[in-house]
Each structure stands twice: as structure tokens, then as C-alpha cells.
Structure 1
Amino acid sequence: MVHINWAALGSVSLVALVAVAVVTTLFAVGVRSLATHTTAREGGQSGVGGLTTALLCFAACLAVVGYGIFLIVAR
């Protein structure tokens, strides 16, 4: 008979759901910031704030995904 550890399954599911929400939100904010940068550049402004925000969001996405891959490969 197979025993299922429901507490562990629930915690893994919750962490996965939160991670998906965080990565999706960071990526969406990064894309929006990149669009803001592009619009500012077309308007003759520098748009440095939008580019900085986009790079930080994309770097955070990459860090979260890289950490997840590290956890999978390390075991």
C-alpha cells in the first residue's frame, strides 16, 4: 500500500504556486518596464529607470529559475 505524505505534498504545492506567482509577476513587471524604457527613448528622454527596473526583474527571474534548477540537479 502506498502511503502519501499529505503535509509534504501540500507544502511543495504551496511553494510551487508562490514561486510561479513571483516569477510571473517579476517577468511582467520587467516587460512593462522595458516598454516604458522604449517609450521614453522614443520621446527623447533617457528612460534609465525603466531599463534598470527591467534588468533587475529579469535578473531576479533568472536567479529564481537557476536556484530551482540547482535544487533539482543537486539531489
Structure 2
Amino acid sequence: MSIDWAALGSVFGVSLAVTVALVGLFTLGIVGLSKQGTATATAGGSASLARTGAYACFALCAAAVAYGIFLIVA
């Protein structure tokens, strides 16, 4: 029995990078929604921009998860 350490390392690296990216995107979405309340008090245009950015981050997270499920099922 032989372990392909290079393949294992590449899988680990890609998994780590994708996990950090997804957590970062989700965090940006949460921050965008939290800034929506403070942006409403200061300027109306910033609130809609913050909400739109947050929804875009959440949509990218959902797309990445859906793609991962697609890869597992296919």
C-alpha cells in the first residue's frame, strides 16, 4: 500500500484555501448586513449598497456549496 503524498498535500491545500475563502465571503456578508443598520442612519445609498454586497456574498457561498454537492454527486 502506497500513499501519494503529493496528491494528499494538494487536496489539503485546495481544501484549506476554499474553506478560508468561503468563511471570508460569509463573514463579509455578515459585516455587510451589520453595516446596513449604521449606513441607514448616515446615508440612504450606502444601505442599499451594503445589502446588495451582502446578498452577493451569500449567493457566492451558496453557489460554491452547490458546486461542491454537484461534484460529490456526479
What TM-score comes out, normalization by structure 1 length? Answer: 0.87
2:30 matched to which residue of 1? 31
What stretches of structure 1 move > 6 A for 4+ residues in a row? Answer: none
Q: What is the CA–CA distance in structure 2 between the aligned matches of 1:9 and 1:38, rounded to whole Å? A: 45
Count residues in correspondence. Answer: 72
Report the AA paired with residue 62 of structure 1. A
1:56 matched to which residue of 2? 56
2:67 matched to which residue of 1? 67
**What is the identity percentage for the equivalent residue pairs of Structure 1 and Structure 2?**
44
SS of equivalent to 1:66: helix
What TM-score comes out, normalization by structure 2 length? Answer: 0.89
Q: What is the CA–CA distance in structure 2 between the aligned matches of 1:70 and 1:38, rounded to whole Å? A: 36
1:7 matched to which residue of 2? 6
1:45 Cα offset (Å): 4.0
Kindly indicate which of the two structures has a greater share of residues assigned to helix.
2
Structure 2, unpaired ranges of 5+: none
| RMSD (CA atoms) | 1.2
1:40 Cα offset (Å): 2.5
